[in-house]
Structure 1
């Protein structure tokens, strides 16, 4: 697959991931099932043989100990093999040992008089029963043995021992395991082929969509993707075609909006700027300090809005963090004082104060954008502080940075709303006016200045917004 002029290898393709992941799941499942199957077969056959072995030796020992408790080992062996030999088949070798661990007699009718020292015999003399595994010296076949003590006057006088060959059982278990492995390999091959077919049915439509997407990336939104299947990929095809149509519509709306808003705003701003400068030249204005200051603010704001109209296109790039800022060395103290004077008339119902920065700490930034930030934060503080409350602006230089705080005793923000207040269009209180964009714009502008801000608030007590901006080092 070729994406953006770069050839995609098999290892990084969707088809390979489907086959590898699908294959890994199938193989892991088959391996787990094989392990469980082997464990089950071994437990079933070997566990069954061990249980039968224990049952046989327990029954014989219990019989002899109950009805021949006063008889010697030799007498027990003679009675057992003379009267009950028909109850034993040739699958088991039964041996009777005396307390010196010498074989007195076995089920073949032989008296070996040989000494046996094995774990199961030693455990039997300690009144315990265990399964002992050994190998025949003549045939090499695996054998299992179990022993139980024989009592005389409630004292251990000998041992009865059962031994069985595992050759047939091992062969049966091996055949089952080989059959299970063959079946597992067949299942893996079948599902790998199935994964290949499935991946092909998924990847081919995606590759066709990729061709259309590359064409759209080059600006050809008139080309449409062809829907093949009525599934998620088919829905993706419809969504891509819908996206192309909406992009064409949005692009037209954007062009019309920028043209219209620029024209509509430029004319009144020019009039505001012109009339404010004309009024400032009147003699009556020079005698009224407040009026002169107000007209000065109007003139300054007209200039700022005029610049923002020229940069209106940059706001459409806000989401992609490409808003343009023109940085120069500025004194934030002057910007704060201007914002303080500009918004002071709005704060007639509260106590608004602004402390003085001890020294002229300079920063690199866009004065208009930072003024926009400070106006937004201070306006919010005033807006959400009820009558009789207070809003305080603090600023201080600290460790090569300037820290500005907007502290109010207003309504505060709940813990639920606090993490979301910087999200676009988020309004914790839907009844309040506003677009919900203010703090998100503040966040983006501060990021462009390598700055940051924090909000600390308690519902019903007030809010503190802290802005940290890097200072210019000499």
Structure 2
């Protein structure tokens, strides 16, 4: 009897040890799998965030540098005019170049202090050297100006033919000093240089300019900061989600362990019965072991299958910019804002092409009605944030116009987006009709806030947004005017503050 009892106790111990070992192994494997998946998900988020930041910077950097270079050249031109005017106004006469530098240099800091280049270096370039002035501190910084010119030597080494095979960037600028010019270097911290010559505004030959340093900090730092914030937020949500799955897994395994403990107590009581023979006890133990393993497998399989499915789906969705509720909503917002940025970047690039004379029209017969409907289907849902209604009044028999359809679509997008932005719970009307025998007249009318009399004369100017507008680039109407007039048409606006605005333009018939 004692022998049978000792054997049953031994069997119970072995069974408990085997199951606990298996259970611990399952917990360890599941924990390792979840840990690997969790870190893969975090790495994926960080990777995609970094790629998004790089793509954003690469997309806008060229237009960004061109825009800032144009602004710097405009500033130098205005400075030259003012200094030239002062020289003539006060009838100044300078005996030598040193005396001229002494007069011009102190004027730079007060004049340029409040411009966008107030943190740059104003320089005067002569055959003897470079005279630099820190616009922020008004201190002399000849050595720093020399170092910045040495950095710009990279551009000369990269394209020596373009720069006339001059040995240094300083030689290139000095030999071209009588022509207003400029360039930029995106490598490193980023630099923009613009220069002009006083001889263009007076009788004195003196090359002066400005170098804006650390330009990349204005572009890359804000983008990286936004990406880091969004990545941290998404990582916290992922951490919360995976922690929930781990807790569910542990709770399920704990329930199975509790169930096994109860079964084990019942089984051990029967195994310890002195009346049961050793053979019967072994048979019963074997049956109970088989049933237990089947039940345990079933209890473990259900929650593990569900958790594995959730985890795999989460991993797949995250790796493929997935569609979970939180991530899907965020992706929709990113998609919507990217479309808006794409429009903004397109406007900036168009303005650059216009300024450089690189915008070429590809004219072909164009159906106004089809083009407007295509534009509305593509952009209206993205741009309409103010619960507005859109009405189209375009006759099907309207003749075709001779136009570049892609550029003309840009005009419709700009005019309709402007109308939607300044109208709430109103109506946007797009109408087209024949205007005489040679033109088609298009009207875009809204019931929004209108344009003030103060802003109306300036709405076609580049970068002008209006004194009461806080959004936009100020390029949309500038681009519209250029495109319409390039087609041989004309564009104008009528507005009444508080009652709405009407934009009208004409296009020549085919």
What is the TM-score with the length of structure 1 in the denominator?
Answer: 0.37
Structure in which a larger fraction of residues adopt helix: 2
Considering only CA atoms, is the larger Rg found in Structure 1 or Structure 2?
A: 1
Higher RCO (CA-CA < 8 Å; seq separation 6+): 2
